[in-house]
Amino acid sequence: MRTDELSRLNNMLVLRKDMFDYFGLLHFSADDLLQLEDVELSLLRSIALCDGKKAISRGPRYYGINNVHDAFEIDNLCTDLASRLYNKSDMSSRKTLFSAFENRINAGLRLYYSYFEKSLSEGLDVGVFFKLRQRILADYSAIIDVMHGRVPVLDLTYYESFVDDGLNLETRVIEMDHKYLLLSRMKDIWSEGTDIKSVCAPMLGGVEIPFMMEVCFNKFNDYLDAKRLVPLCFHIIYGEHDNKRYGDIIRDESLSDSKKLCGVFPAELHNQIRGGNLLVLDDNTGTGETLRNLKKFFSKFYSDVNFGFIELSWKYLEDIKSGKRAGLLFDVKDIRHPTFRNYRHHNILDRLRSCIKSEDIRGYVTTLKKLGMQNGFVCDTDCLLHQGKNYSDKNNITFMDAEIRRAAQLSYDIETSDSNFILSCDIMDGKIRYLEQYDPFEIADLIMNYRTVNIIDIDRHLGKEYNEDIIKYLCALKRCRVGGGVRSKEDIRKLFSLGADKVIVTTCASSDLLSAFPSDKLVVGIDSIDRRTGRHNDVLAKIKRLLPYCSEVQYICVETDGKMKGGDVARGLEYARSCPKPFSVVGGITHLHELHKLKDNGVSAVVGRAIFENMFGDKYV
């Protein structure tokens, strides 16, 4: 990986990820708004004010394009706005310029959809198609420049100058509209340094991907004075949505490997896609069935076919595992370019868009809190669910109403020094479990906001080597307790040498092993079931036997661990009453009332997955 290039690209960014929310909207602060002229706000009409204090970068007009004339009007208004701001460098102008180009792109892609559908039945006007594509590429080039603090080149070619005003506008809203997320995926692919000959993406859901790929590779070459190969980027008509929309218009029998595959556009690409490497990128992957089918088909034409996605609907996979949804389960490790896993899909997108279109900002925030998965992006609800009120205070973020302030206080109670909350980070396959989309060295901000952190090296528990670099790095940032696969005195010494504040010993805990170390440096974990024999442990007897050799006891309910269906709080409290030292319960704790019940009885709760996957969100509303 060319980390030096990736670092240089990221250092150029002016619009950073903490300015965007989960939905991809850029947030405007009160200071940003004060610097903007009222005429700019009224012209753009894409900034929805929130309680007079906050704004977001898309408003009713972004989602209210109902016909070609609406698209033309947005194009004209935003072009006028961009022409006045394109060379200004202050943050408020930079954010507004981003919004202007995002609105132009949205209008252009809606026209692109519509012109494509028309061309299927009436034939392709190459001249118009070329102009439309070039204007869209120019806007992507401009928005990438804006995000990196560069002065963009403004294309003053208006859509109404060459697009037929009688065109029947496609009503479908752009799905993959998170520009920062798209940009970060392109940088990941770039940083691998792999020469990819071609890239394809679905027409409807992934319409932005080929445009972004082509522009980003050209931009990165320009920014870094590099000469990386720019792939041939095209759309393929595949997937359930494309088939429903276009299946009756175009069907290519050569793609008959699956009933969901129905053609390539433009058709002349059939003669160009021979040999080399192909990357198939989907916008949002659910079951992975389409990607498997495409890999099988394109293997006939390319020497190497890889696939990836911008987002993964992890709930689809969970539903397949539990039998709630039909489909084959694919191995996530087969995905070459994954990103953060989430529960974001059409239902939440439609609800959020509806709230924005009707200017229901409270409804927007409430929906996001209930359904959003925001691991990678900072917004009001992200502050509540992951980093607490301390983050919002530090960054001078004002919550929008009293209800949210009360929710923030609940989060603050959980995550401050007087709380009973212990964050658990499991290391599996060299990644932080349930946060596999991140490099383990990128989660420092997460663990720094929790009073107590457990690090469990599952790889070591499974007999592999310790993840020494990760453990050493995290322990250097914060005093952490570390466990996983501790079987000998050498293991305990090893973890102390890596910086562990305390060592957690579970399966192999014995008086002989523990007595060689100070009791205040050890935590004993007691499983409800012996993982070696499968027999139930006498938890009370083990507490009595091992208590003199440790400073704390953790009860681990093996039956509920990792399932997020509720923990064994009742037995945990029963065992805690027999333990005069600090006591915590591990395994499946998912609900806020469980945390409160444990806290009321002076018992701590060890939680990992439920925090990473936002399971406490709906309890805050």
239-249 residue pLDDT tens: 555 655 655 55
- Spatial neighbors of 587 by CB under 8 A, at least 6 apart, are 528, 556, 557, 558, 559, 560, 561, 562, 567, 568, 606
pLDDT for the residue 219: 95
8 Å CB contact between 309 and 280: no
pLDDT single digits (tens) 108-145: 999 998 888 787 777 767 788 889 999 999 999 999 99
Instruction: Quote the CA–CA distance of 309 and 258 in Å, as a whole number.
Output: 20
- The average pLDDT across 477-501 equals 89
Question: 335 vs 605, which has greater pLDDT?
Answer: 605
179-341 CATH fold: Rossmann fold (3.40.50)
Question: 273 vs 141, which has greater pLDDT?
Answer: 141
What letters, b where the CB count within 10 A reaches 16 and e where it falls short, cover 189-209?
A: bbbeeeebbbbbbbbbbbbbb
pLDDT band at 403 (very low <50, low <70, confident <90, very high): very low
pLDDT band at 160 (very low <50, low <70, confident <90, very high): very high
Give the homologous superfamily in CATH for domain 417-620. Answer: Aldolase class I (3.20.20.70)
Kindly state the DSSP code that residue 549 receives in the 8-state scheme.
G
CB-neighbour burial class of residue 4 (10 A; exposed 0-12, middle 13-18, buried 19+): exposed
pLDDT single digits (tens) 365-392: 566 555 443 322 223 333 333 333 333 3
Question: 257 vs 194, which has greater pLDDT?
Answer: 194
**Maximum separation of any 2 CA atoms in the chain, in Å:** 85
Kindly state the DSSP code that residue 282 receives in the 8-state scheme.
E
Instruction: Quote the CA–CA distance of 385 and 410 in Å, as a whole number.
Output: 10
pLDDT for the residue 98: 94
- The average pLDDT across 498-508 equals 92
Question: 57 vs 549, which has greater pLDDT?
Answer: 549
Judged against a pLDDT cut of 60, whether residue 262 lies above it is answered with no
8 Å CB contact between 74 and 44: no
Judged against a pLDDT cut of 60, whether residue 261 lies above it is answered with no
Question: 158 vs 255, which has greater pLDDT?
Answer: 158
Instruction: Quote the CA–CA distance of 57 and 410 in Å, as a whole number.
Output: 29
Q: What are the sequence ranges of the domains in the chain?
A: 1-174, 179-341, 347-408, 417-620
The H or E element containing residue 554 is: strand 552-556
- The average pLDDT across 522-534 equals 92
Judged against a pLDDT cut of 70, whether residue 17 lies above it is answered with yes
pLDDT for the residue 418: 47
- The average pLDDT across 560-572 equals 88
- The average pLDDT across 20-25 equals 70
Q: Report which of 431, 434, 484, 498 is spatially closest to residue 455, judged by C-alpha positions.
A: 484
pLDDT band at 619 (very low <50, low <70, confident <90, very high): very low
* Secondary structure of residue 101 in the 3-state scheme: helix
Instruction: Quote the CA–CA distance of 346 and 489 in Å, as a whole number.
Output: 52
pLDDT band at 250 (very low <50, low <70, confident <90, very high): very low
Choose the weakest-confidence range: 316-320, 354-358, 463-467: 316-320
pLDDT band at 413 (very low <50, low <70, confident <90, very high): very low
Instruction: Quote the CA–CA distance of 445 and 546 in Å, as a whole number.
Output: 35
8 Å CB contact between 8 and 67: no
Instruction: Kindly report the backbone phi and psi dihedral angles of residue 527, in degrees, each rounded to the nearest multiple of 5, phi listed first.
Output: -75, 145
Q: Which two tokens stand for residue 215?
A: 């522009």
Instruction: Quote the CA–CA distance of 186 and 200 in Å, as a whole number.
Output: 13
Instruction: Quote the CA–CA distance of 423 and 387 in Å, as a whole number.
Output: 12
- The average pLDDT across 511-528 equals 94
- The average pLDDT across 166-193 equals 80
- The average pLDDT across 500-514 equals 94
Choose the weakest-confidence range: 238-247, 439-448, 485-494: 238-247
Instruction: Quote the CA–CA distance of 504 and 502 in Å, as a whole number.
Output: 7
Residue 350, CB half-sphere, CA atoms under 13 Å: how many? Answer: 4
Which of 253-257, 384-388, 444-448, 612-616 tops mean pLDDT?
612-616
- The average pLDDT across 176-204 equals 81
pLDDT band at 483 (very low <50, low <70, confident <90, very high): very high
- The average pLDDT across 91-103 equals 92
Question: 26 vs 490, which has greater pLDDT?
Answer: 490
Q: Name the percent of the chain lying above pLDDT 70.
A: 67
pLDDT for the residue 182: 87
Q: Which two tokens stand for residue 107?
A: 């209008």
Question: 386 vs 84, which has greater pLDDT?
Answer: 84
Decide whether 179-341 matches 417-620 in CATH topology: no
pLDDT for the residue 398: 40
pLDDT for the residue 584: 95
pLDDT for the residue 457: 95
For residue 583, give Cα distances in angstroms to 411, 540, 603. 22, 13, 6
pLDDT for the residue 608: 85
8 Å CB contact between 60 and 359: yes
Q: Report which of 350, 352, 346, 386 is spatially closest to residue 367, judged by C-alpha positions.
A: 352
Judged against a pLDDT cut of 70, whether residue 45 lies above it is answered with no
8 Å CB contact between 113 and 207: yes
8 Å CB contact between 608 and 435: no
pLDDT band at 562 (very low <50, low <70, confident <90, very high): confident
Question: 194 vs 268, which has greater pLDDT?
Answer: 194
pLDDT band at 13 (very low <50, low <70, confident <90, very high): very high
Q: Looking at the whole model, is its pTM more than 0.95?
A: no
- The average pLDDT across 182-211 equals 82
For residue 457, give Cα distances in angstroms to 161, 347, 424, 463, 526. 62, 36, 11, 10, 17
pLDDT single digits (tens) 586-610: 998 888 788 889 988 999 999 888 8
- The average pLDDT across 481-492 equals 94
Choose the weakest-confidence range: 166-175, 206-215, 332-341: 332-341
Average of per-residue pLDDT values in the chain: 76
pLDDT for the residue 456: 95
8 Å CB contact between 546 and 511: yes
Kindly state the DSSP code that residue 420 receives in the 8-state scheme.
-
Side chain identity at residue 356, one-letter code: I
CB-neighbour burial class of residue 105 (10 A; exposed 0-12, middle 13-18, buried 19+): buried
Instruction: Quote the CA–CA distance of 286 and 239 in Å, as a whole number.
Output: 11
